Amino acid sequence: MLVKPEEISSIIRKKIDNYEEKMQVDEVGYVIQASDGIAKVHGIENCMSGELIDFGDNIFGMALNLEKECVGCVLLGGETEVKEGTMAKRTGKTVTIGVGDDIIGRVVNPLGEPLDGKEPYKIDAYRDVEFLAPGVMSRESVNQPLQTGILAIDAMVPIGRGQRELIIGDRQTGKTAIAIDTILNQKDQDVICIYVAIGQKGSSVASIVDTLRKNGAMDYTVVVSSTASELAPVQYIAPYAGCAIAEYFMYEKHKDVLIVYDDLSKHAQAYRAMSLILRRPPGREAYPGDVFYLHSRLLERAAKLDKEHGGGSITALPIIETLGGDVSAYIPTNVISITDGQIYLESELFFAGQRPAVNAGLSVSRVGGSAQTKAIKKLAGTLRLDLTQYRELASFAQFGSELDQATTNKLAQGERALEAIKQQQYKTLSMEKQVVILYALTQGYLVTVDKKNVGRFNDELVQFVEEKYPDLLKEIAEKKVLEDGIKENLDKVIKEFLELFNA
């Protein structure tokens, strides 16, 4: 069949009209200076702040300083390979981390690379490491408790889902222990946990992973690790990467998530080191001027979303290390003002054998009370009062003056309250068991028990109720309110146990 010339020309014209010009233009520059994990790149004029820069051989950096002549990049690995003259290419995107359901139970670095020797996990989505916090209109007030399983905290400094509660104290006062116990207590609570280790020793992270694995907590936990041996930029993005993983489960899966940042003091130090090498002007204590924004933009991402936005939540437990109990230092005051309360751990209490070493006077929760179960809320009010009065009276009693009966009784009650809130690590208590212990304490049943035996009394009482009256525990767990019927049963059970205990 002959094709007419005009038909040929119309076909060609159609093809030309539908032709899409596909041409890829990469903006490329060269490293003009590289040292201490920082590379200065010349030739990428249109670079964005926070953009991912490709240095080849799977080495990436992040653009932070946009200067007139060059761009200051922090390297996320491969600091020995990037030299003067190395080619650097813009990627046009910000730093992201691959996330997916398979990340649960894994130990990864802040770039999402596995550190547990297993195969890479299946990636369902990529999330930006830096992400805008949800606005006020998409949030709802904190109204659901997040039980830590630690009696002193759940009673006096309760934490709600969507809250940011700071754990603060000197070195070696049990800050990480509280965070790990809280993770262990989320078993069967439908909460995903993320533990972010910033600047920790590799051996410490390994032992934490081992503890979580032994207690079956790795089934719902992700560990993001950036050890002390890693570059400052890797430590800097670690908490943001952990938060991006948490946001995947909150926004996409509508889950409740608990995230622990251990610890933000080292995070601020890593940022300071990075900023000073980038020649950013130092401010107070040599920290750069935006060190407050560093933590506020991270912790603001913790939220409880309303039903319209899926109803998930992120609860943040940032950890801050103080020096000599100085809560008024720069970084501690910054983070205190960002969070919704703090659990203050005191060295004196810790070394006096009070574990957890929670200072009831300085610890506070600004929203947890509204998320606390009514049963514990009713019993905990008198507990804080007992401890406060005991501290005041104990300082007078040491002068050896004669005390009246009322003062002696208050001292005895305070001593027993201090003993009752002592708790061993990894031995968390469910809400109903806490109610039984608090009821026995606040109703004065422990007055006849020697203060040395209070811990044993509580352990055996819980065991007794568990074995002989499991229905009572079940009723407390279901109703969450101290009704008259529950009170009568508790009185009867505790009296019965007291007779056995004293015998």
Catalytic residues: 366
CA-based nearest residue to 174, from 426, 431, 420: 426
What are the φ/ψ torsions at residue 361 (nearest 5 degrees)? -75, -40
Tokens linked to 300: 């603001």
If you search the block for the tokens 């533990």, which residue do you land on? Answer: 195
CA-based nearest residue to 486, from 399, 359, 332, 374: 374
CA distance 362 to 351: 18
Distant-in-sequence contacts of 376-381, Cβ < 8 A, 24+ apart? 376/154, 376/155, 376/158, 376/431, 376/434, 376/435, 376/438, 378/482, 379/155, 379/435, 379/438, 379/439, 379/442, 379/482, 380/155, 380/156, 380/158, 380/438
**Residue 167 near residue 320, CB atoms below 8 Å:** yes
Q: HSE-up of 257 (CA within 13 Å, CB side)?
A: 30
CA distance 378 to 209: 37
**Residue 234 near residue 77, CB atoms below 8 Å:** yes
Alpha-helical regions (H) of 38-83: none
Considering only CA atoms, give the Rg of the chain. 28
Q: Which sign, positive or negative, has the C-alpha torsion 107, 112, 115, 116? A: positive
If you search the block for the tokens 């995903």, which residue do you land on? Answer: 192
Tokens linked to 496: 């019965």
CA-based nearest residue to 182, from 203, 197, 160: 160
CA 498, chain centre distance (Å): 40
